[in-house]
């Protein structure tokens, strides 16, 4: 899907695609909205979906991909548009193995009452009960790990940790602004996507920045996690200052 400069969905394009779908006889849709995309950590809104579906008269469901952002955004922002507080949201995925740093394989799917039946498949009917939770070879230890991490921090504790990441990300953005280096960053999120021409390749390499495409980078991404400490950030910013002056 083409997006606008602020990473929001392009309304004209969406309308055109819906017209196409309508002509093809499609009546029901599932919209997949993001609470934090992988490269930019941008966040979608339901207002646009409401507008375009009313105009085109579609029935729809909304699924939220909160794989990356789900363990930070609700703690750093008061926006509840993509949560179950919004009656339009039917299901959400959220990963324990991203921000929460649980072991791999702790992806979580949650949906409203009555909808889980739609995910029951017959493919694994050799497992007794075609159950959705801990059967077959799914690891109960993973579920316990997520529970332990959440209980150890508590809501306030996690909120504090996430705010700390936002403060560090703000600090980096202030320097980027000073140096007039262009970037995208959602104000409640901990990813900064910097336009590639603003960063010398040797700096990207030294600090292991993540490219959107390592063959031909257009963006370099910084993810401010707990281990990205102030000392490392200041060293990076100093190098950046020097590279701009030279
Ligand atoms: C990591 C990620 C996924 C993939 O999820 P896995 O559970 O790791 O397979 C999907 N969407 C977003 C936005 C992600 O960051």
Q: Which domain holds residue 66?
A: 11-151
On whether both 141 and 176 belong to a single domain, the answer is no
CATH code: domain of residue 217 = 3.90.1150.10
Atom of ligand 1 nearest to the CA of 95: 7
Assigned domain for 4 exists: no
What region does 81 belong to: left with phi over 0, alpha with psi -120 to 50, or beta? alpha
Ligand 1 atom 4 nearest Cα: 67
Are 87 and 175 contained in the same domain? no
For ligand 1, say whether the CB of 222 is within 6 Å of any of its atoms: no
Ligand 1 center to 3 CA (angstroms): 20
pLDDT in tens, the chain (246 residues): 789 988 999 999 999 999 999 999 998 999 999 999 999 999 999 999 999 888 878 899 999 999 999 999 999 999 999 999 999 999 999 999 999 999 998 999 999 999 988 877 776 666 666 666 666 677 889 999 999 999 999 999 999 999 999 999 999 999 999 999 999 999 999 999 999 999 999 999 999 999 999 899 999 999 999 999 999 999 999 999 999 887
The full DSSP string for 229-246 is: -HHHHHHHHHHHHHHHH-
Which of 151, 173, 208 is where one domain is finished?
A: 151
Q: Within this chain, do residues 135 and 194 fall inside the same structural domain, yes or no? A: no
Residue of 206, 178, 209, 207 whose CA lies nearest to 196: 209
Cα of 98 vs centre of ligand 1, distance in Å, is: 8
Determine whether the shortest distance from the Cβ of 37 to ligand 1 is under 6 A.
yes
The token pair at 165 is 């990441």
The pTM (predicted TM-score) of the whole model is 0.91
Say yes or no: CB of residue 38 within 6 Å of ligand 1.
yes
CATH of the domain at 110: 3.40.640.10
Contact 44 CB / ligand 1 (< 6 Å): no
Residue 109 CA to residue 80 CA, distance in Å, equals: 18
pLDDT of residue 120: 75
Task: Tell me, yes or no, whether 71 and 168 share the same domain.
Answer: no
Domain-terminating residue out of 101, 127, 151: 151
């Amino acid at each position: 899907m083409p997006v606008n400069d602020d990473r929001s969905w392009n309304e004209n394009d969406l309308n055109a695609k819906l017209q196409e779908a309508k002509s093809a006889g499609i009546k029901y849709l599932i919209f997949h909205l993001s609470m934090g995309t992988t490269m930019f950590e941008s966040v979608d809104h339901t207002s646009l979906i409401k507008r375009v579906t009313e105009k085109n008269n579609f029935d729809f469901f909304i699924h939220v991909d909160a794989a990356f952002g789900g363990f930070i955004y609700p703690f750093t922002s008061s926006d509840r548009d993509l949560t179950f507080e919004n009656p339009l949201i039917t299901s959400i995925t959220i990963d324990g193995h991203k921000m929460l740093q649980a072991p791999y394989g702790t992806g979580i799917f949650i949906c409203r009452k009555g909808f889980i039946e739609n995910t029951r498949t017959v493919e694994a009917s050799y497992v007794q009960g075609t159950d959705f939770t801990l059967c077959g070879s799914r690891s109960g230890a993973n579920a316990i790990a997520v529970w332990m991490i959440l209980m150890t921090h508590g809501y306030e504790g996690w909120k504090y940790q996430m705010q700390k990441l936002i403060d560090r990300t703000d600090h980096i953005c202030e320097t980027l602004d000073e140096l007039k280096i262009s970037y995208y960053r959602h104000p409640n999120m901990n990813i900064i996507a910097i336009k590639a021409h603003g960063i010398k390749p040797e700096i990207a390499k030294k600090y292991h920045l993540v490219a959107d495409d390592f063959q031909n980078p257009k963006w370099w991404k910084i993810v401010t996690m707990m281990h990205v400490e102030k000392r490392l950030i200041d060293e990076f910013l100093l190098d950046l200052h020097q590279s701009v002056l030279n």
